[in-house]
Amino acid sequence: MAVDCAIPVLTRREMVKMTAAAALSGDRILDPHVHVWSRDPQFPFSSGARVPDYDATPQMLLQLMKTNGVARTVIIQVIHYRYDNSYLAAVLKQYPRVFEGVCRVDPLDPAAPDHLAQLTEQGFRGVRLSPAGDAGGDWIRGPLMVPLWKRCQNLKVPMTLLIPISRVPDAQKLIDKFPELTVVIDHMADCPVDHPEQLEALVALAHYPRVFIKISHTWSLSRESYPWLDSQRLVKRLYDTFGPRRLMWATDWPIAQERASYAQRLTVVRDDMQFLNADDKRWMLGKTIEQVWPFA
């Protein structure tokens, strides 16, 4: 299966023009969640990784950004490399003014706080944890979390959580301990559209002012076709509670390409969420993201 496009590398002149245009724009569109990977022998995938049969390179991403008017992007360390962040570090070094990066560290390693500090020194701006909903993710309740979250707070980098909705109460206990830490919940905690009442666990986090929600995965959660009105109802509930200044869109490119194109993941928010006004969109497409990941 192919991704949106396979485009040659942008020229240096195109990159300069893209950066300058974004800097002049007062309402930049920023994408806070994508993944990149490449079959490069210099950066091997982790043992047992289930990697799709296509690459998702930063050059392909840059062309999609250019086509869709996206100025800057936050790249999340993809699970294919597990806790080896070398490939993403190389991408960030190559494109320092266009991308920010969120790393992964091993949550079962007592040295994870030190690893996070080292990665922050390399330029990473946050860490992602992804506890499973079954017993394999019970480490989110374990003793290694407090020192890791404390270090994250001390480093002043956001904690990004990929969690199922059933894990939100576990996250809330840690959020209680670290109220000054910026926490971003990915993909509406993948609340199922046929159980909207479960979203109340996420709604309960609204009184923590440093908690932000990505309203992505409308396409993956939906039982309908574009514009995925059933999952838009989840977004509306979060909008009514958190407000646009704590919600952010995201593409999660190139995941679930069979469900939605890069462009559709933008237009569903920009054009097809009828409950949003122009100022709401300015926040959810850019300004909220800049509160968490300030771009130069």
Q: What is the C-alpha to C-alpha distance for residues 80 and 100, in angstroms, rounded to an integer?
A: 19
Which pLDDT score is estimated for 181? 98
- Dihedral angle computed from the Cα positions of residues 80, 102, 153 and 119, in that order, rounded to the nearest 10 degrees: 80
Q: How much is the average pLDDT of 7-27?
A: 46
Which CATH architecture fits 12-292? Answer: Alpha-Beta Barrel (3.20)
More confident residue, 23 or 81: 81
Provide the pLDDT for residue 207.
96
CB atoms within 10 A of CB 5: 11
Rounded to whole angstroms, the Cα distance separating 160 from 163 reads: 9
What is the phi-psi region of residue 181: left when phi exceeds 0, alpha when psi lies from -120 to 50, beta otherwise?
beta
Report whether pLDDT(8) > 60. no
The string of pLDDT tens digits covering residues 260-285 is: 999 999 999 999 999 999 999 999 99
Residue 10 or 131, more confident: 131
What's the whole-number average pLDDT of the chain? 93
- Residue located via tokens 């480093």: 155
Q: Please, which pLDDT band fits residue 168 given cuts at 50, 70 and 90?
A: very high
**Per-residue pLDDT for 3 more than 60?**
no
Q: Answer whether residue 15 shows pLDDT above 90.
A: no
Of 19-23, 160-164, 211-215, give the lowest mean pLDDT range: 19-23
Provide the edge-to-edge strand list for the sheet that holds 159-161: 29-34, 70-76, 99-104, 127-129, 159-161, 183-185, 211-214, 247-248
Using one digit for the tens of pLDDT, what is the confidence trace for 128-158?
999 999 999 999 999 999 999 999 999 999 9
For the cut 80, the answer to whether the pLDDT of residue 37 exceeds it is: yes
State the CB neighbour count (10 A cutoff) for residue 222: 20
List the structure tokens of 83. Answer: 């806790």
User: Tokens standing for 128?
Assistant: 């992602």
CA–CA dist 25, 280 (Å, integer): 17
Which has the closest alpha carbon to 147: 103, 118, 113? 113
- Looking at the chain, the whole-number percentage of residues with pLDDT higher than 70 is 91
Helix/strand/coil (H/E/C) assignment for every residue in the chain: CCCCCCCCCCCHHHHHHHHHHHHHCCCCEEEEEECCECCCCCCCCCCCCCCCCCCECHHHHHHHHHHHCEEEEEEECCHHHCCCCHHHHHHHHHCCCCEEEEEECCCCCCCHHHHHHHHHHCCCCCEEECCCCCHHHHHHHCCCHHHHHHHHHHHCCCEEECCCHHHHHHHHHHHHHCCCCCEEEHHHHHCCCCCHHHHHHHHHHHHCCCEEEECCCHHHHCCCCCCCHHHHHHHHHHHHHHCHHHEECCCCECCCCCCCCHHHHHHHHHCCCCCCCHHHHHHHHHHHHHHHCCCC
CA distances from 179 to 65, 171, 207, 288 (A): 34, 12, 11, 19
- Burial-class residue 111 by CB neighbours within 10 Å (0-12, 13-18, 19+): exposed
Q: Give percent of the chain above pLDDT 90.
A: 90
Residue 222 confidence class, pLDDT cut points 50, 70, 90? very high
State the pTM of this model. Answer: 0.91
Cα 42 to Cα 258: distance, rounded to the nearest angstrom:
29
Confidence of residue 26 (pLDDT cuts 50, 70, 90): low
**What's the pLDDT tens digit per position in 68-119?**
999 999 999 999 999 999 999 999 999 999 999 999 999 999 999 999 999 9
